[in-house]
Structure 1
């Protein structure tokens, strides 16, 4: 018999190795006829990452589904991979360089990228190894990285396709800018934090009072705006007023985007430093005056405030307004401010030449896919944020001023190229644009450029320059959006596209899921999956978000190493997968106890082997002289199996696990096993009791396997079956 007690530390690595050797994670190797597919796309973990509780949630639910459908006779593929994570990875490597007293500018682009690849080779696979320890049954033979040559080729072709359609364009627009990372960011890459500040009421020379939280940007104001329905300001619309400090004349305009309830109802319009203001400026043909630069400091157009940090300029400007009698008042004000998702620095909207992808038609496709139920978002309440975002979408800023990523396949005529520079971060070196190491960030703009897979042999414009490639790279999410088909070979696309499901956190519903949907429709003519499964967030015991930097993060590897993967998976699923939960580590110990309970009960059953084995419950029902206890456990076992199927297929994993737990622990162990001891001593009931014990155990191992795969597989290996449990018929 097998040892007592069960030790997951010893058993789990051996069991996982057995699965790997079987090749059954690969759908092409699965036994028997399998006419239907079941395909799940792994949420691509960043190569910067190590396993956290979000990953445990991301991957436990899909693994339950993959294991269940594999046992149901489907051809199952769980496609794994890692994301190059442009800004995140570059940020981490730059921090490593900083320890050496260097910056990426000291290395130059080529050497810096070599350094990132070295870092990727050393650390990039850690998270995949940790996922294996969690029991993830993905097809590791198909693992892809989003900068693999074949994947990069697919990304390039997608860019060329969009450009030829006229959907990619270069333009000067106010974008969200991170001064620390030195790059533009899309709206979905922003995080928000509460900030206590003041709302200052500024009195214009003509008597109009405007409220603002950012008086330092008033130096770049080109209008004051009011809502056309606001009767308080009807007489002002169309007039010119004098802007304090600069003494420039600016117009008062009417725009329906203005909130009449904010401040005084009259707001300053700074097209260079607010995305909404930029749109207002475009509608009213306003001038764009940039008074804050790429470093987050006041620019030359800020006059005497040039070079100051924005906070310093704000204090001086408020003091000056007070001295000049132009400050009508100030009041405490709390609002949410945008910060970079990677560095945590405040976002500074600035005008910048960037590359954009038109979102009009793509957004319509993604909206229709969910509205017509081609794609279902589970739980359904998350549809609202999906519809809100796509219904009010702006064109996607797809260019990033970093070096790690998919470099744009754009080539500029050097004679036409306009290069503007600005220092980034704390670097203030000269304006060197030498190829061996640019000291400052720079922006390229030219009317003469071509979009091509490879560098042209000859410039088609001037005929004699060596064309310069665009320095920018693509937003990481542009390449991630292609994952369901770019992550597959051409042959595999024919077999395994489209898929069935993707499971992830709510934060990337619009960042990733929506973009995969419109990418799949545009490039393959079909939605990439049928279901988006949004799981909840695991919070601390106090109800706060987990954060490594705040010391509130929880490392699931701690639980896996101490209690085993089964216990960790049990805890994650037990506490619900679709709702936010306060993490209770007692659920891990409960999972460990449950695994031990299954083990010990199995030892008892296998010590009482029947002379023959019934294949199903119908066979048991034919046995004569069944006791009331026999009939009850047979009915309960058949019932829990049906309920488990229903709950798994409707993604109610917690209900499924809790039902199995109650059945196995109470109905089977506490009740039937105890009653079976007397029945085993009776010649009339001994054999039938052994058959019932055996079949109920077998069925329990099968239904529990998607949740606790290791202990169930280990016990199964002591049964007479030749197949691994992982491919045993459900």
Structure 2
């Protein structure tokens, strides 16, 4: 049947079909531009923050992807060359954990399998289970270029990773050394500061007595008491530090102590870093297990004694405590100290404890041999890129946050003790003990020529490879001619949409590495690349956090996690997308409420029913021999100066809405854009225009066919354009209905490839003002009817006192008022008849002529309340306008607007007072 839509809107019946269609037809593939066109036109390209290959979609992902999809669809429909690049991250720690758990169910361990077999097992896991989140993206209609999908362990991207490492090493910016790192005993690898989550815990401060040794090498009987939160680490103490000006301990300068439980002699050192107020003012120094102690050890040339193994069990350096878990050892050490009379006291103490963000194991600061990047030269360029305005942050406050972190950045530990990941291209020689770093796999030592070399067992931090993505996805370092066109066209990318949680993990890394390595690639004309053109993206939009309806952070512990897939199954993808967009304001978290999703599901249903109404009338028109001018479809709706008011008004309303939507999206105000569309489509179009246009849709014999044809053409063209306006927000619904508008034979493959309504058409302000008057009158009449109890279906006359210059508008459009307010007659009079309930506005007084007698007392009470309200409004306006400080500083349009409000309020107040007098109140 022509233009047929099922009676009920069911998103599940259409979404799978269109999602599969978009991918199958490759509608969003952005091919490499040809030699002639690659610099023509405007490009919009955006990189998907690569989710972990182990990931599943959560509400944060859906918000992020909804915003990116809206922007990409909007730019594509504007005519820009739009590219949204998808991919996944190999997620070293998370993926290795996942596969190890799988092995554990089989009674196996990776150590037993060996590295090569384990890596093959991970690839097998990836082939079968990895990338599920991208499948979810396809189902949700993300308009990405699936032909360009990448994985950070792909061969091509792996080449870029090795080149970056070798290049930085050759530049003297990568070095290897023993430093304190955050060590996760469960993952058995170093992790970055950003991967440690700190939380306050109630703990203890143990005060331990260290015997002072005399000049004769014997204990003097005096003790120096030390306070610590980790007594088990004392097994690795190499000194005790005091402040040089602490008068309590001046006599101990140059003395030695006997390390309790161990017996080792350790020196007392002085250092201004020591706080005289914390604990006892004496600090145990364990360089291998604390970053501050490590720095102390470096300053005082102290040895480092590591007393724990990779699993946080005490090693052979811990003597009798060897083999004990660190927390078991803590209890044993405390008990032994107490037994020997060396425990001076235990105090309650609140301590910040760091957990591994992946497995939640308490992190152990530990001395470890790692690879580092000298970060400062890279950071300097990344700082300049933001300070000089080459990268813009929205909201702006994140630029300050970024700069503060970058200006205090430490060298980056890039090695991880994992098997899954990009293996560090460094080979250690067992003969000369030097290191060979090479772009190709080394077979001999570059220093002594020995073949007794072994590759480093470490892999690179995942963020090292993902930090390279903006350059590596476009072919760096081995850029072919085709890659070159991609690089010239799409680099720098236009925008990065991401969350605050990876501002330092990923955003900062990309800026540093993009600004550093893209300088290798000259500009299209062969000139050197400037910093402005080396940035990985022009703008960064930091989106909000999705919280629950009570504004609490979602967590499995609280049991308030919302699964977006389940909500999608219940309400449809479009309703969930629109909910997120309508609440997405820069810098403000989203309190996700399912009730709003229900409301936007109803919004989709409203549009569906509007389409059914439209198609019904198209079919009736065809039966009456009336055809529609389809040439207007796909463009901006227009209305002639002689068209009926409702036609000129809805076109003007549409132009205004389109302008505001474009303006809002340009500023990343997804909430404003969504709300403008909602108010226009539900309010202006469905609630008002569809009811008014019914007056012109007359298919009976003898009716004015030209009027009907004109009305129907305007109706269809505005509806089709409104679908295009809504399409980036609700792609599935609009695709289905748009194809139905064309009776399944559209000019193009998808609404997503049509033109988005743009600014530029002049707005008919006269039509907007006239319709506003009619709408105001209808609203007041409806309210009056309700107040005095007029039956819903009853039609009644009204009296209207209105200024002469507005009377014509009402007269010429009386049919609209009569239909929408159920009015039989509009009586224009100079004064409302006594005894009638009425509403007064600055433009008119209106009353409903109805037999029911007015309750004078109740009407007087109502008038008195309204008079009191308007008196306050007038007084407030006078007060503001009488304040020289306000009128001097306020913009002129604000002052003028306030004067207008004051005059209208005064005019209404005078009328209300006159009404009260006429009733004898």
Q: What TM-score do the two structures reach when normalised by structure 1? A: 0.89
Sort the Cα spacing of 1:263 and 1:648 in 2 relative to 1 into closer, same or farther, 3 A.
Answer: farther
Paired residues of 1:225 and 1:255 also in contact (CA < 8 A): no
> d(CA) in 2 for partners of 1:707 and 1:266?
62
Sort the Cα spacing of 1:513 and 1:29 in 2 relative to 1 into closer, same or farther, 3 A.
Answer: closer
1:413 equivalent in structure 2: 429
Paired residues of 1:223 and 1:253 also in contact (CA < 8 A): no
Sort the Cα spacing of 1:694 and 1:346 in 2 relative to 1 into closer, same or farther, 3 A.
Answer: same
2:214 equivalent in structure 1: none
1:555 equivalent in structure 2: 563
Task: Look up the SS of the partner of 1:315 in the other structure.
Answer: helix
Sort the Cα spacing of 1:716 and 1:255 in 2 relative to 1 into closer, same or farther, 3 A.
Answer: farther
> d(CA) in 2 for partners of 1:233 and 1:159?
52
Sort the Cα spacing of 1:685 and 1:268 in 2 relative to 1 into closer, same or farther, 3 A.
Answer: farther
Paired residues of 2:259 and 2:266 also in contact (CA < 8 A): no
1:109 to 106, 110, 115: 115
> d(CA) in 1 for partners of 2:61 and 2:329?
43
Task: Look up the SS of the partner of 2:741 in the other structure.
Answer: coil
Paired residues of 2:246 and 2:276 also in contact (CA < 8 A): no
> d(CA) in 1 for partners of 2:407 and 2:32?
44
> d(CA) in 2 for partners of 1:703 and 1:506?
30
Task: Look up the SS of the partner of 1:301 in the other structure.
Answer: helix
| Deviation of the 1:589 alpha carbon | 2.0
> d(CA) in 2 for partners of 1:654 and 1:208?
63
2:768 equivalent in structure 1: none
CA displacement 1:323-347 (0-9 Å, x = unmatched): 4444443332223211112221111
> d(CA) in 2 for partners of 1:280 and 1:161?
33
1:272 to 268, 279, 288: 288
> d(CA) in 2 for partners of 1:653 and 1:698?
22
> d(CA) in 2 for partners of 1:259 and 1:40?
50
Paired residues of 1:625 and 1:685 also in contact (CA < 8 A): no
| Deviation of the 1:30 alpha carbon | 10
Q: What TM-score do the two structures reach when normalised by structure 2? A: 0.72
2:694 equivalent in structure 1: 677
Unaligned runs of 5+ in 2: 212-221, 520-533, 619-626, 757-921
Which stretch of structure 1 is more off in the superposition, 123-132 or 583-592? 583-592
CA displacement 1:595-625 (0-9 Å, x = unmatched): 1111111222344457325469987342414
Task: Look up the SS of the partner of 1:336 in the other structure.
Answer: strand
1:511 equivalent to 2:519? Answer no
| Deviation of the 1:62 alpha carbon | 0.6
Which runs of structure 2 are paired with 1:384-403 in the superposition (5 Å)?
A: 384-403=400-419
Larger radius of gyration: 2
Sort the Cα spacing of 1:284 and 1:566 in 2 relative to 1 into closer, same or farther, 3 A.
Answer: same
Which stretch of structure 1 is more off in the superposition, 464-473 or 519-528? 464-473
Sort the Cα spacing of 1:361 and 1:222 in 2 relative to 1 into closer, same or farther, 3 A.
Answer: same
Which stretch of structure 1 is more off in the superposition, 306-315 or 706-715? 306-315
2:257 equivalent in structure 1: 242
Paired residues of 1:147 and 1:406 also in contact (CA < 8 A): yes
Sort the Cα spacing of 1:618 and 1:193 in 2 relative to 1 into closer, same or farther, 3 A.
Answer: closer
1:357 to 365, 373, 378: 373
Which stretch of structure 1 is more off in the superposition, 477-486 or 533-542? 533-542
Unaligned runs of 5+ in 1: 417-446
| Deviation of the 1:266 alpha carbon | 4.2
| Deviation of the 1:89 alpha carbon | 0.3
> d(CA) in 2 for partners of 1:331 and 1:636?
70
Paired residues of 2:242 and 2:268 also in contact (CA < 8 A): no
Sort the Cα spacing of 1:241 and 1:149 in 2 relative to 1 into closer, same or farther, 3 A.
Answer: same
2:548 equivalent in structure 1: 540
Paired residues of 2:639 and 2:714 also in contact (CA < 8 A): no
2:737 to 715, 718, 721: 715
1:568 equivalent to 2:560? Answer no
> d(CA) in 1 for partners of 2:720 and 2:275?
65
Task: Look up the SS of the partner of 1:279 in the other structure.
Answer: helix
> d(CA) in 2 for partners of 1:261 and 1:569?
55
Task: Look up the SS of the partner of 1:715 in the other structure.
Answer: helix
Which runs of structure 2 are paired with 1:410-559 in the superposition (5 Å)?
A: 410-416=426-432, 447-489=433-475, 490=479, 491=483, 492-525=486-519, 526-548=534-556, 551-559=559-567
| Deviation of the 1:102 alpha carbon | 0.7
Sort the Cα spacing of 1:376 and 1:240 in 2 relative to 1 into closer, same or farther, 3 A.
Answer: farther
Paired residues of 1:294 and 1:350 also in contact (CA < 8 A): no
> d(CA) in 1 for partners of 2:650 and 2:267?
83
1:726 to 726, 739, 752: 752
2:608 to 589, 596, 599: 599
1:160 to 146, 155, 166: 166
Task: Look up the SS of the partner of 1:620 in the other structure.
Answer: coil
Which stretch of structure 1 is more off in the superposition, 681-690 or 572-581? 681-690
> d(CA) in 2 for partners of 1:519 and 1:367?
12
> d(CA) in 1 for partners of 2:583 and 2:458?
44
2:716 to 694, 699, 713: 694
1:81 to 87, 91, 109: 87
| Deviation of the 1:162 alpha carbon | 0.5
Sort the Cα spacing of 1:237 and 1:13 in 2 relative to 1 into closer, same or farther, 3 A.
Answer: farther
CA displacement 1:569-599 (0-9 Å, x = unmatched): 1222233264333332223222222211111
Sort the Cα spacing of 1:234 and 1:2 in 2 relative to 1 into closer, same or farther, 3 A.
Answer: farther
2:23 to 16, 20, 24: 20
| Deviation of the 1:542 alpha carbon | 4.8
Sort the Cα spacing of 1:451 and 1:464 in 2 relative to 1 into closer, same or farther, 3 A.
Answer: closer
